[in-house]
Amino acid sequence: MGQDSAAKSPWTGCSQFLPTTQKIIQFSDGKSPNPGDKIVYVAGAFDLFHVGHLDFLEKAKKLGDYLIVGLHTDPVVNSYKGSNYPIMNLHERVLSVLACKFVNEVVIGAPYCVTEELLEHFKIDVVCHGRTPIALENGKIDPYAVPKTRAIFELIDSGNEMTTERIVERIISHRLEYERRNQAKEKKEIEAFEALQRQKQTQKAG
């Protein structure tokens, strides 16, 4: 379920990724915040890391000096996105986000609700969210209630319309178009073969 060394998406069943601390270290900048740094926190799925995520993280980083990204576990992501999400498992998403130059640290398996403990532990000054809808935990609890109460919550408009869902739609659309072209090609080949067979039979009969 994206939480152990045998991580495989329970919905797609396609990942054989085996995480190691060495792999994570290779992607991490390994730097701690300096005294006085303004620490920014964002959280989400960051599935199929794309240019929309990149623009969002760039804007979030500009709100402070040190950017921490909280990544939700696979079951949590599936609970608020549904369908076959996430496409990438937790460990794959961790490395994708760590590879972004704007990110300083990643919280692996971050809680869906931003808690007092989380804010205090990482000494967070600003909590951000993008334009995607905020799903309530258990349909009741605002996951950003605590930072909103502290008046440290900010909404960010990345200015980019790209989403993971759009990428998936494109892939499916291109796949269907590919299948339609192949079916049409196969149909023409069959028709040509049958016509040739009829021609041969006619010639034999003559």
Tens of pLDDT, residues 155-203: 999 888 877 778 878 777 777 777 888 888 888 888 888 888 888 788 7
Identify whether the C-beta of residue 64 lies closer than 8 Å to the C-beta of residue 104.
Answer: no
Rounded CA-CA distance 177/80 in Å is 30
Look up residue 3 and give its two tokens. 């939480």
pLDDT at 206: 62
Task: Give 75 or 204, the one with higher predicted confidence.
Answer: 75
**Residue boundaries of the structural domains of the chain:** 21-161, 163-205
Tens of pLDDT, residues 66-111: 999 999 999 999 999 888 899 999 999 999 999 999 999 999 999 9
- Average pLDDT for the chain: 85
Residue 3 has pLDDT above 90, yes or no: no
Query: In the CATH hierarchy, which fold is given to the domain comprising 21-161?
Result: Rossmann fold (3.40.50)
Rounded CA-CA distance 105/27 in Å is 10
| Farthest-apart Cα atoms in the chain, separation | 96
